[in-house]
Amino acid sequence: MDKRAISIRDVAQAAGVSTATVSRALNAPGRVSEETRRAVLEAVKATGYSVNPAGRNLRQRRTGSVVALVPNIANPFFSAILAGISSVLRPAGLNLLIADTLAGENREGPVRDYLDRTRSDGVILFDGNVSPTALEPRAGVETPPLVMACEWLEGRPLPHVGIDNAAGARVVTEHLLNLGHRDVAHVMGPPENVLTQTRAEGYRTALAEAGLPCRDDWILPGDFSLASGARAAEMWLALPDRPRAVFCSNDEMACGFISALAAKGVSVPRDVSVAGFDDIELAQHVHPPLTTLHQPRRALGIDAAKLLLDLIAAPELYGATHRIEPVELVRRGSTAAPGDG
């Protein structure tokens, strides 16, 4: 048994042809004769050869992998999306790399690292808060195609996959209004986040359409975390005239909100209706189960990966392509008409 792994040379020798022919037989079967193709395939089987990606990548100036940059790997919101991405990438022969933008001190680091043709063939970026300079072209560094997913960068036309957040927020708010509520509060995400802003906009639009004023003191701060939802519940409790419906900008805050209320003996939805956004797994398991807006996470991942593959194949073809996945309101137990219980 040899020490070195078998290479294309061994196959060539076994088949009695040159390495060029072996390569052609495997990658462009139409360009060799039927006879040699068979001989090569047989030699491949006999030797147990499989191509060495490092060699191929070097020659072809590719990396064979696509990187998904998420704000935080530990956030389970992304797992279904990553599964979708993986399901597209694997058949295409590409590896899925993951990294988080929060790793280390500066948010830019990982983005800069991977936004480089020698490091990845393409990037799917889930973080809309990277500094704009991180995406600037740098001298001597070719940048691979980039797809924004879920979040996006304001004022920068980049390919994007996501949902219509404003419309979604509007649907949720209208659901509360349709139940008969006239006083609807809103718990916001982190202020600088595009999702926060867009969802708040949808909320305001729905109120305006219904001819209702938008009261500033009914807009409560948050940061998308469970804890901030609980804090918002405290603020809500302290309001002189508590609105009987609350739309939280994401599910985690809605869950935190509900559980903090439960601890204070306030009943949902009898005393207050609470709705969320995202339809994370937790949403259907809290008590009461959460009314929320469903994001098709696996489909989003699949879309993002497909779009990226298209861009890799033909970088110039696409301007700022957008793919918007449809969303759906999921009515569960956490919302009800003001009188009900």
Q: Which residues bind DNA (CB under 7 A)?
A: 4-5, 7-9, 16-24, 26-27, 31-33, 35-36, 49, 51-52, 54-56, 58-61
Nearer to a second copy, 119 or 215 (CB): 119
238 binds, among a second copy, DNA, none (CB under 5 to 8 A by kind): none
For residue 50, the minimal CB distance to DNA (Å) is: 7
142 binds, among DNA, a second copy, none (CB under 5 to 8 A by kind): a second copy
Nearer to DNA, 43 or 275 (CB): 43
Nearer to DNA, 54 or 238 (CB): 54
Residue 45 forms beta bridges with which residues? Answer: none
Of 197, 199, 203, 336, the residue nearest 278 (C-alpha): 199
For residue 281, the minimal CB distance to a second copy (Å) is: 7
- Own/partner pairs for 225-229, CB < 8 Å, 24+ apart? 225/252, 225/253, 225/256, 226/252, 226/253, 226/255, 226/256, 227/256, 228/187, 228/253, 228/256, 229/187, 229/253, 229/254, 229/255, 229/256, 229/257, 229/258, 229/260
- Could you tell me the maximum CA-CA distance found in the chain, to the nearest angstrom? 88
For residue 64, the minimal CB distance to DNA (Å) is: 11
Per-residue exposure over 108-143, b if at least 16 CB sit within 10 Å of its own CB, e if not: bbbbbebbbeebbbbbbbbbbebeeebbeeeeeeeb
Of 320, 286, 278, 300, the residue nearest 88 (C-alpha): 300
For residue 39, the minimal CB distance to DNA (Å) is: 8
**How many CB atoms within 10 Å of residue 267?**
11
Q: How far apart are CA 293 and CA 328, in angstroms?
A: 6
> What is the identity of the amino acid at 63?
T
For residue 98, the minimal CB distance to a second copy (Å) is: 6
Nearer to a second copy, 103 or 312 (CB): 103
31 binds, among DNA, a second copy, none (CB under 5 to 8 A by kind): DNA
H or E, element range at 99: strand 95-100
Nearer to DNA, 40 or 195 (CB): 40
298 binds, among DNA, a second copy, none (CB under 5 to 8 A by kind): a second copy
Q: How far apart are CA 27 and CA 16, in angstroms?
A: 18
Q: Which residues bind a second copy (CB under 8 A)?
A: 1, 5-6, 47-50, 52-55, 57-58, 61-63, 65, 72-76, 78-80, 82-83, 86-87, 90, 95-100, 103-104, 110, 116-119, 138-142, 255, 259, 281-282, 285-287, 298
For residue 236, the minimal CB distance to a second copy (Å) is: 19
Nearer to DNA, 30 or 155 (CB): 30
Nearer to DNA, 1 or 238 (CB): 1
35 binds, among DNA, a second copy, none (CB under 5 to 8 A by kind): DNA
Q: How far apart are CA 116 and CA 44, in angstroms?
A: 34
For residue 143, the minimal CB distance to a second copy (Å) is: 11
122-125/160-163 β-pairing: unpaired
Q: How far apart are CA 115 and CA 106, in angstroms?
A: 15
